[in-house]
Amino acid sequence: MFKIVKAEFLAQDIKLFQIEAPRIAKKRKAGQFVIIRLDEHGERIPLTIADSDPEKGTITIVVQGVGKTTKALNLKETGDTIMDVVGPLGEPSHIEKFGTAVSIGGGVGTAIAYPTAKALKEAGNYVITINGARSKDLVILEEEMKQVSDEAYITTDDGSYGFHGFVTQKLQALIDEGKKLDFVLAIGPIPMMKAVADVTRPYGIKTVVSLNPIMVDGTGMCGGCRVIVNGQSKFACVDGPEFDAHGVDFHNLADRNKMYSVYEKEALEKFEHECKLDKKIEAIENAG
Amino acid sequence: MNQLTPKERMKIPRHSMIEQDPAERSRNFSEVNLGYTPELAIEEAQRCLQCPKPTCVAGCPVNIQIKDFITLIAEGDFIGAVKKIKEDNALPAICGRVCPQEEQCEEACVVGKRGEPVAIGYLERFVADYERESGKIDVPEVKVSNGKKVAIVGSGPAGLSCAKDLREKGYEVTVFEALHELGGVLVYGIPEFRLPKEIVRTEIDGLKRMGVKFETDAIIGRVFTVDELMEEEGYDAVFLGVGAGLPWFLGIEGENLNGVYSANEFLTRVNLMKAYQFPEYDSPILDCHNKNVAVFGGGNTAMDAVRTSLRLGAKNAYIVYRRSEKEMPARVEEIKHAKEEGVQFMLLTNPVRLIGDDEGWLKGMELIKMELGEPDESGRRRPIPIEGSNFTVDIDVAVIAIGNGPNPLVTQTTPEIETSRRGTIVVDPETMKTSKKGVFAGGDIVTGGATVILAMGAGRKAAAAIDHYLQNGAW
């Protein structure tokens, strides 16, 4: 059992958790992830480690409630427990002094990009961060990002805060200004990562993406997370999750991530139905 | 039992086990074999000729005192019999179910030279089940702690048997397991209908009661390297029983289509994650109802996967195997069960490519007919494609069960440990010592994919060598 020592919402449906996991906290490096299982009937899902405190023995994860498991997790509060947390998994981000490094985070991807942006800064890079959200109320980790950036930009799709437009438009604008970019890291939804790869490709800017395929064990024993990179099949859990963006077959990744969408919907509907029932029972009990 | 003459014993026919009806069982996950009754067990035990020099014992990789335990069964002392087995084997309910006895103890049985061998496996299973159902499971005696610590990496059959032997000798034993459940292939690989998970849990509980410590969610190579286990965590020796869990793929077109699984993923979802009980359990598996499922391969894993697909509702379940039935590595009993349940065998057939639709879903497979040529290095006749014999079959789900390689996570992070070209760990076959002082290895990580009982045998051998090393310190 792994204890949650802090739980707080960063934005609607996006929650930060600090979890007691001293061994993982001590060992983890930027870019690595954990697999968690909430309870006896739970599934195993991968979540990137956004931060850690080896002294306190905690790791931080940031979770967006999109399906059954993430929504159930986001109901957890300080003091609750998670049955299984295993990690650190995956290869750490490859960090070196590239020169000017751009970290791009889309939505909850901002939290995943954070540790790598921090590591890039510590390695002596000039760090530019671009973090995108649909609207102002969904912007997360703005302060944290500023602290690890030489230049920090927020973009919103609706223009309610920061730059009006997509992260790729901001990236293109930087290139058009004549900034010499040496390295780009992009983490977020598949269409966003693909769009970033398309922007940097003609300029030959080294670009890395952190892929998010479906995983089961996360230790290389099933190949459920296989992705095609430069025409070759790779296991994202052990060979990645970071890969050369210009070699990734995003189309295949997008198709594969839809494999269980029918089941995901069914599980979520059942969960939400049960939540409603629980609330009704609670209301009756309180009234009684 | 002294009344019976050998001749009379030879006249008793081998008793088969009671089985669930094929039509019914192919749609449920309950165990297929239902075991012996006490009466059947006693009669079967009477078939044993009590050879003065029993050859069966040498056929058992952990050298169970077979003659002695069978004598006790014939006398009706079932609990005494299981105690006798447990002197050499911690997991009799498991071994009695999944060992290929026909190639081991029963192959060596003298009765088998003239008729059917004594059903040693069924008897082992019977007494283990009898003990468990009696609710009075005996815990083997443990020597007073000698203060020495041994880390065991992996809780599969090799690690469990090594842990048991070392604990009995008084070592402080901790088993590290990467997954959330203990048992390795016993829990994620072998299906419920061959090996109920409740039985695995009970047998492992026995080890816990002996004082073996277990840590799940602990992935060695990531949370601790082998060096850290020895230098920082204070372990005097390490046994690596991490198995061969890296699935091989075919390397053909269409392998990344939706609906294509490795057998490891397919079986892990069903067995470990209980996806067949979705949405009671959260992990999904593609619905196989009225679908066509093809499994590539001819080993036990392939049989487990194809029989699982029937239980998930498959309309047609195919085995696609490039050699003929004679060369199949699967157990005869598993092939028989698969056929009874309605699995269709496409022999001397190999997949050429997998065919998908516009949205990336598997729709069919292109196959080619094979013929057998000269024997290859494995001693089996090499399959050769027959040109122009290609044909296609509609399928919705494909499972690749052509074998596994060793998982490189531990060896990558401990380069001192010598590995072969195939990635397996190189050991001294007598002592299971690796090239790194204090580190031993055994099971599939040394041999490549093999059997549960061979892994257990390797675990025992390593335990003896670890004891020897820690007693005299010489490497």
CATH code where residue A230 lies: 3.40.50.80
Q: Are A132 and A11 in contact (CB under 8 A)?
A: no
Average pLDDT of the residues in B403-421:
89
**pLDDT tier for residue B9 given thresholds of 50, 70 and 90:** confident
pLDDT of residue B2: 53
Residue B46 domain-assigned? yes
pLDDT tens for residues B30-71? 999 999 999 999 999 999 999 989 999 999 988 999 999 999
- Which residue in B265, B286, B409 is closest to A222 by CB distance? B265
Please, what is the average pLDDT of chain A? 93
Q: Are A103 and A185 in contact (CB under 8 A)?
A: yes
The answer to whether residue A272 neighbours chain B at the CB level (below 8 Å) is: no
What's A55's domain CATH number? 2.40.30.10
pLDDT of residue A288: 65
- Assess whether B394 and B251 both reside in one domain: yes
Residue B339 domain-assigned? yes
Torsion B349-B335-B454-B56 (CA) sign? negative
Put simply, the answer to whether B222 touches A89 (Cβ < 8 Å) is yes
Copy the structure tokens of residue B144: 């007073």
- Assess whether A85 and A122 both reside in one domain: no
pLDDT of residue B30: 92
Give the DSSP per-residue string, A158-189: TSSSSEES-HHHHHHHHHHTT----EEEEES-
The residue that leads in pLDDT, A36 or B140, is A36
Residue B75 domain-assigned? yes
- Assess whether A84 and A158 both reside in one domain: no
Residue A275 domain-assigned? no
pLDDT of residue B407: 84
Residue B118 domain-assigned? yes
Put simply, the answer to whether A219 touches B280 (Cβ < 8 Å) is no
- Which residue in B255, B264, B274 is closest to A233 by CB distance? B255
- Assess whether B159 and B232 both reside in one domain: yes
- Assess whether B261 and B388 both reside in one domain: yes
For residue B311, what is the enclosing H or E element?
A: helix B300-311
**pLDDT tier for residue B1 given thresholds of 50, 70 and 90:** very low
How far apart CA A19 and CA A68 sit, in angstroms, is 20
**B407 contacts in chain A (CB < 8 Å):** 219-221
Helix, strand, coil percentages, rounded to 5, for chain B:
35, 20, 45
Nearest to B160 by CA among B139, B182, B143: B182
**A268 contacts in chain B (CB < 8 Å):** none
How far apart CA B242 and CA A168 sit, in angstroms, is 44
- Assess whether B43 and B105 both reside in one domain: yes
pLDDT tens for residues A14-26? 999 999 999 999 9
How far apart CA B338 and CA A166 sit, in angstroms, is 55
The whole model's pTM is what?
0.93
B425-442 per-residue burial string, b: 16 or more CB within 10 A, e: under 16: bebeeebbbbebebbbbb
> How many other C-beta atoms can be found within 10 angstroms of the C-beta atom of residue A279?
10
Q: What percent of chain B has pLDDT over 90?
A: 78
Size of interface A-B (CB pairs under 8 A): 114
pLDDT of residue B183: 96
Distances (CA, A) of B177 to A6, A135, B156, B194, B270: 28, 44, 9, 23, 20
pLDDT tens for residues B320-340? 999 999 999 999 889 999 999
Give the rounded distance of the alpha carbon of B82 from its chain centre.
Answer: 21
Distance from CA of A259 to the nearest CA of B (A): 6
**Neighbouring-strand partners of residue B354:** B365
Q: Are B387 and B371 in contact (CB under 8 A)?
A: no
Average pLDDT of the residues in A23-52:
95
Q: Are A234 and A220 in contact (CB under 8 A)?
A: no
How far apart CA A36 and CA A19 sit, in angstroms, is 11
- Assess whether B211 and B175 both reside in one domain: yes
The DSSP code for A92 is: P
Residues 92-121 of A with CB under 8 A from B: none
Where a domain ends, among A54, A89, A124?
A89
The answer to whether residue A258 neighbours chain B at the CB level (below 8 Å) is: yes
Put simply, the answer to whether B282 touches A42 (Cβ < 8 Å) is yes
pLDDT tens for residues A127-166? 999 999 999 999 899 889 989 999 999 999 999 988 999 9
- Assess whether A222 and A126 both reside in one domain: yes
Number of domains observed in the structure of chain B: 3
The interface predicted TM-score of the complex, written ipTM, equals 0.93
Cα Rg of chain B (Å, integer) = 23
pLDDT of residue A278: 85
How far apart CA B81 and CA B73 sit, in angstroms, is 6
**pLDDT tier for residue A283 given thresholds of 50, 70 and 90:** confident
What are the residues whose beta carbons fall under 8 Å from the beta carbon of B5, sequence distance 6 or more? Answer: none
Number of domains observed in the structure of chain A: 2
Q: Mutual orientation of helices B38-45 and B120-134 as an angle, nearest 10°? A: 140
**B264 contacts in chain A (CB < 8 Å):** 221-223
pLDDT at position A282 over 90: no
**pLDDT tier for residue B121 given thresholds of 50, 70 and 90:** very high
What's B460's domain CATH number? 3.50.50.60
Domain that holds residue A19: 2-89
How far apart CA B415 and CA B433 sit, in angstroms, is 15
Which amino acids of A are annotated as binding site for [2Fe-2S] cluster, given as ranges?
222, 225, 237
CB neighbour class for A157 (10 Å; exposed up to 12, middle 13-18, buried from 19): middle
- Assess whether A8 and A127 both reside in one domain: no
In sequence order, which ranges of chain A are alpha helices (DSSP H)? 22-27, 68-73, 109-122, 142-147, 167-176, 190-200, 236-239, 250-257, 261-287
- Assess whether B315 and B259 both reside in one domain: yes
- Assess whether B86 and B109 both reside in one domain: yes
- Assess whether A17 and A54 both reside in one domain: yes
Q: Are A120 and A101 in contact (CB under 8 A)?
A: yes
The DSSP code for B268 is: I
- Which residue in A42, A217, A266 is closest to B179 by CB distance? A217
Please, what is the average pLDDT of chain B? 93
Distance from CA of A30 to the nearest CA of B (A): 14
The structure tokens 């004082």 sit at B211
**pLDDT tier for residue A249 given thresholds of 50, 70 and 90:** very high
- Assess whether A110 and A40 both reside in one domain: no
How crowded is the C-beta side of B139, counted as CA atoms within 13 Å?
A: 13
Give the rounded distance of the alpha carbon of B277 from its chain centre.
Answer: 23
How far apart CA B106 and CA A185 sit, in angstroms, is 61
| SS3 (DSSP) at B316 | strand
> How many other C-beta atoms can be found within 10 angstroms of the C-beta atom of residue B153?
28
Where a domain ends, among B134, B160, B184?
B134
Domain that holds residue B328: 247-400
pLDDT tens for residues B335-380? 999 999 999 999 999 999 999 999 999 999 999 999 998 888 877 8
Copy the structure tokens of residue B345: 């065998």
How far apart CA B138 and CA B79 sit, in angstroms, is 9
Classify B276 in phi/psi space as left (phi over 0), alpha (psi -120 to 50) or beta.
alpha
- Assess whether A65 and A122 both reside in one domain: no
pLDDT tens for residues B281-316? 999 999 999 999 999 999 999 999 999 999 999 999
How far apart CA B266 and CA B269 sit, in angstroms, is 5
What's B41's domain CATH number? 1.10.1060.10
Nearest to B218 by CA among A280, A258, A89: A89
pLDDT of residue B11: 84
Where a domain ends, among A89, A110, A132?
A89
Copy the structure tokens of residue A258: 């839809």
Q: Are A28 and A54 in contact (CB under 8 A)?
A: no
Residue B170 domain-assigned? yes
pLDDT tens for residues B72-109? 999 999 999 999 999 888 889 999 999 889 889 999 99
Residue B142 domain-assigned? no
pLDDT of residue A204: 94
Give the DSSP per-residue string, B362-409: EEEEEEEEEEEEEE-TTSSEEEEE-TT--EEEE-SEEEE-S-EE---H
- Assess whether B434 and B395 both reside in one domain: no
What are the residues whose beta carbons fall under 8 Å from the beta carbon of B251, sequence distance 6 or more? Answer: none
- Assess whether A124 and A250 both reside in one domain: yes
pLDDT at position B464 over 50: yes
Q: Are B140 and B210 in contact (CB under 8 A)?
A: yes
Distances (CA, A) of B238 to A198, A223, B438: 49, 28, 6
pLDDT of residue A177: 92
